[in-house]
Structure formats: structure tokens, C-alpha cells
């Protein structure tokens, strides 16, 4: 079906009564080849999809297509119960030149509702760097002081990608000032050094 670009056949395989392995394979194929005309159907199916693997592939496909019709369902996917789907949703939103995508990622960067939300903040930082909107710089600078050790490196990397000189002072100020082990194992300082190299 993928070779024949049989989109309708692949969509039919997403029926919940079909074996989950076939459904996941069909979703991967759709993620790779579906045209923009399939966005409404894919978005509709994603909203009701029970399987994590299928949701992940559908989010990837909708992100690849970059059609604004998919934005509402991708923003909802940023709050999916599965972290891999959330990561895929953040990456997908980074491909949209849209105020809604930017605002959703900015909100995710400060989310602290659950203990595992640090991962969402990390995904959002990476995505904001890829999105390329320099309005995210102040929020990313604030994230350099995030309480979780893995969020500041992501924020530093994003600041390096955005290339805004106002981040230089903040990066230098934060380097080795947060409680952490110093030396080669310091992921935050490695990311800060890489960002400073790009910025200067």
C-alpha cells in the first residue's frame, strides 16, 4: 500500500479492530507519504487513537506536513499521557510558523503540574530552538535556572540555535553557578560553552 501510495487503504488499516502491529505499520507509512489532503482525516483519527505507537507516528506525519489544520490536535498531543508522543508533538510544533505553536511551546516550557513535567520542559526548549523565534529568548534564559538538571542544557542549546546576543551575558552568569558537579561531566556547562561558541 505504501509503494502504491494507497492512502485510503492505509487509513482503513487504522481501524481499532485491526491488529495493533498492522495499525502501527500503517501509521508509519502514512507519516512518511500522506499528502496534505489527508490531514483532516489523520487529525480526526489521532484525537481518538488509543495506541501510543500509532499516535506517535500520526503526530510525526502531521508535523511533516505542516498544515495549520493539524495545529489543534498537535497542541493537545503535547499533553499526551505518553512522553514519546509529547516529544514528537513538540518537534512537530517546531515546524509551524504559527503564533499558536509558539504559545503552546512557551507554555510547555514552564509546565510544572506533575513530577515528570521536567521532560516536557526539556522537549519544549529543544523545539523552541528549532522554531527559531527569538521571542523565546527571555523564557529560555529563565529556564537556565530550572530545578531539573536536564532542562538547563536544553535551554542553553536552544539559545545557541536562536543566535540572539542578549543570551551571552545570561549564559556566562549561569555557568558553574547552579548547584552541580563541576568538570567534564557537567552537561549544563558543556551546553553553555557550545552555545557561547555559536553566539560569539
**Mean per-residue pLDDT over the chain, rounded:** 93
* Fold: same for 1-96 and 102-200: yes
Confidence bin at 189 (pLDDT 50/70/90): confident
pLDDT at 32: 96
The reply to whether CATH 3.90.870.10 applies to domain 1-96 is no
Confidence bin at 86 (pLDDT 50/70/90): very high
What CATH architecture applies to the domain 102-200? Alpha Horseshoe (1.25)
Number of residues assigned to the chain: 200
pTM: 0.90
Map out the domains of the chain as residue ranges: 1-96, 102-200
Confidence bin at 115 (pLDDT 50/70/90): confident
Whether 76 shows a pLDDT value over 90: the answer reads yes
pLDDT at 179: 57
Amino acid at each position: 500500500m505504501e509503494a502504491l501510495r494507497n492512502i485510503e487503504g492505509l487509513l482503513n488499516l487504522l481501524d481499532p479492530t485491526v491488529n495493533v502491529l498492522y495499525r502501527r505499520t500503517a501509521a508509519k507509512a502514512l507519516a512518511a507519504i500522506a499528502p496534505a489532503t489527508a490531514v483532516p482525516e489523520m487529525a480526526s483519527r489521532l484525537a481518538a487513537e488509543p495506541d501510543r505507537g500509532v499516535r506517535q507516528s500520526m503526530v510525526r506525519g502531521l508535523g511533516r506536513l505542516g498544515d495549520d489544520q493539524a495545529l489543534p490536535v498537535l497542541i493537545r498531543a503535547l499533553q499526551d499521557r505518553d512522553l514519546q508522543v509529547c516529544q514528537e508533538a513538540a518537534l512537530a510544533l517546531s515546524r509551524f510558523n504559527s503564533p499558536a505553536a509558539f504559545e503552546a511551546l512557551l507554555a510547555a516550557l514552564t509546565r510544572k503540574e506533575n513530577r515528570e513535567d521536567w521532560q516536557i520542559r526539556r522537549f519544549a526548549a529543544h523545539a523552541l530552538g528549532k522554531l527559531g523565534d527569538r521571542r523565546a529568548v527571555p523564557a529560555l534564559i529563565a529556564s537556565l535556572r530550572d530545578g531539573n538538571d536536564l532542562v538547563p542544557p536544553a535551554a542553553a542549546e536552544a539559545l545557541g540555535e536562536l543566535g540572539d546576543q542578549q543570551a551571552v551575558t545570561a549564559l556566562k552568569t549561569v555557568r558553574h553557578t547552579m548547584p552541580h558537579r563541576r568538570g567534564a561531566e557537567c552537561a549544563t556547562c558543556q551546553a553553555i560553552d557550545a552555545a557561547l561558541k555559536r553566539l560569539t
